[in-house]
Amino acid sequence: MTNTNGSAADGASAQDGTGEDAVRDAAAPVQDKPIVELRDAGKAYGNIRALHGVNLSVHPGRVTCVLGDNGAGKSTLIKIISGLHQHTEGEFVIDGEPVRFSTPREALDAGIATVYQDLATVPLMPVWRNFFLGSEMTKGPWPVRRLDIERMKKTADEELRNMGIVLDDLDQPIGTLSGGQRQCVAIARAVYFGARVLILDEPTAALGVKQSGVVLKYIAAARERGLGVIFITHNPHHAYMVGDHFSVLRLGTMELSAARDQVTLEELTNHMAGGTELAALKHELAQVRGVDVEELPEEGDLTAPVVSAKDGAA
C-alpha cells in the first residue's frame, strides 16, 4: 500500500470478493480531465483558517468521498464549491479555468448542484411539485400562463424511473416518504436539471441501515450516468461501499488522499477514528482503572497513508 500523490485520475480498481463491492454496479468510466479542482485551496474567516492547502479533483463518472469529524472543514469545502463562500487561498478550477463564484446560482449554472442534509422541500406538497419547485413548467399565453401539471407529473415520473426510483403515487406529500426516498428524489431532481457535479452533504447521516442502502444505490446510479459525485460523510463504511477516491480532512487540512486500491476500509476507519491520536488516548486510558483498552489499536498498527497538503491531491 503506497502514499497517494496523484489525482483521482490515477483510477480506482474494484476489489473482488468483498461485500462492499457488491454495492458497486460497474467500473466507473475512466476520464482524464476533472470537472472540478481545488489547488492548494483555503478559506480564512478573519484570523481563523478553516481550510488550508486542500487539493481535490472531481472526475465525471467517479465518486470522491470527503470524510472528516466535526470541525474538520467539510462544510467550508462544500460552501466554496457550491458558491456560498469564496476561497481566500489557492485556486478553484472548473473545466481547467480558474473561477470565483459569487453566488450559488453561478455554481448551478456551471452544473454544480448541492443536496444538503436538510432538504429544501415542502413536506405538504406533492412529490411532483417538489421535483419542480422553483422551476415549474407552464403553458398558455402570457400573461395568463398556468402550471402544466400533466407534463410535470409525467416528466417527474420518467426521471425518477430513469434513476431506478419507482413511487406508486406522485401526488402523495413528499413528507410521507422515508428519509432515504426524499434524498433520492433530490438526487434525481439535480440530475434532471443538468448537474454535472453532485455534492451530497451527509445524505445518510440521519438514516437507518436500510434507508442508507437505498441512498448509496442511487449514488452509484448517478455515477453510472456520468456525474462526478462528491460524497461528504463521517461514515467510512458508507464511503467505502461506493467511493472511487477518499480524502480525509482533519482540522482544515488534507490528511489522507488515496484511491480505492491504495487504502483499506480498516485504514480509512483508523484515520476517521483519530489515527495516532487514538493510540495516545489508549495510553492515557490504560492508566485509568476499569477501562478496557485492548480493542484499541497500537500506534504501529495505524498504517494508512498520511500526506501533506502539498503532496495530496484527491
What is the spatial distance between Cα 113 and Cα 218, in angstroms, rounded to a whole number?
A: 15
Which residues have C-beta within 8 Å of that of residue 153, sequence separation ≥ 6?
Answer: 128, 170, 171
Say whether pTM exceeds 0.85: no
Q: Residue 165: what pLDDT? A: 85
The Cα-based distances of 93 to 81, 161, 192, 207 in angstroms read 10, 33, 24, 33
Return the minimum-mean-pLDDT range out of 22-31, 111-120, 288-297. 22-31
- So what's the pLDDT on residue 2? 41
Grid cell digits, residue 109: 449554472
Structure confidence at residue 273 (pLDDT): 73
Q: Over pLDDT 70: what percentage of the chain? A: 77
Question: What integer pLDDT is reported at residue 172 of this predicted model?
Answer: 94
Predicted confidence at residue 295, as pLDDT, reads: 54
State the residue for C-alpha cell 470524510: 67
Residue 289, pLDDT score:
55
Position 282 scores a pLDDT of: 59
173-197 residue pLDDT tens:
999 998 888 888 999 999 999 899 9
Query: Is pLDDT of 309 > 70?
Result: no
Note the pLDDT tens digit of each residue in 108-155: 999 999 998 777 789 999 999 999 998 999 998 888 899 999 999 999
User: What is the arrangement of strands in the sheet containing 89-94, beginning at the earlier edge strand?
Assistant: 48-58, 36-45, 89-94, 97-98
For residue 236, give every residue at least 6 positions away whose Cβ sits within 8 Å of its Cβ, in sequence order, or none: 67, 265, 268, 269, 271, 272
Q: Nearest Cα to 184, choosing from 131, 246, 240?
A: 131
pLDDT higher than threshold 60 for residue 64:
yes
What letter does residue 195 receive in the DSSP assignment? -
- Could you please state the CATH topology (level 3) that the domain comprising 1-111+196-274+307-314 is classified under: Rossmann fold (3.40.50)
Question: Residue 258 has what pLDDT?
Answer: 94
| Residue 298 pLDDT exceeds 90 | no
Predicted local confidence at residue 296, as pLDDT: 52
Find cell 468521498 and name the residue: 65
- Name the average pLDDT for the chain: 82
CB-side exposure of 267: number of CA atoms within 13 Å? 20
- Check whether 211 has a pLDDT greater than 90: no
pLDDT for res 121? 85
- Is the model more confident about 13 or about 208? 208
Alpha carbons 230 and 125: distance in angstroms, whole number: 28
pLDDT tens string 234-285: 999 999 999 999 999 999 999 999 999 999 999 998 888 765 555 555 566 6
Banded model confidence at residue 286, pLDDT cuts 50, 70, 90: low
- Residue located via cell numbers 485556486: 91
pLDDT at res. 41: 96
* pLDDT above 50 for 49: yes
d(CA 100, CA 7) in angstroms, rounded, equals: 22
Query: Could you tell me the pLDDT band of residue 306, with boundaries at 50, 70 and 90?
Result: very low
Phi, psi of 254 (to 5 degrees): -85, 110
- Residue spans of the domains in the chain: they are 1-111+196-274+307-314, 127-189
pLDDT at 14: 41
Contact 50, 73 (CB under 8 A): yes
Instruction: Write the DSSP string, 8-43.
Output: GGG---PPTT-TGGGT--SPPPP-SS-SEEEEEEEE
Residue 31 and residue 22: Cα distance in Å, rounded? 23
Write the DSSP symbol of residue 190.
H
- In angstroms, rounded to a whole number, what is the distance separating the alpha carbons of residues 212 and 231? 13
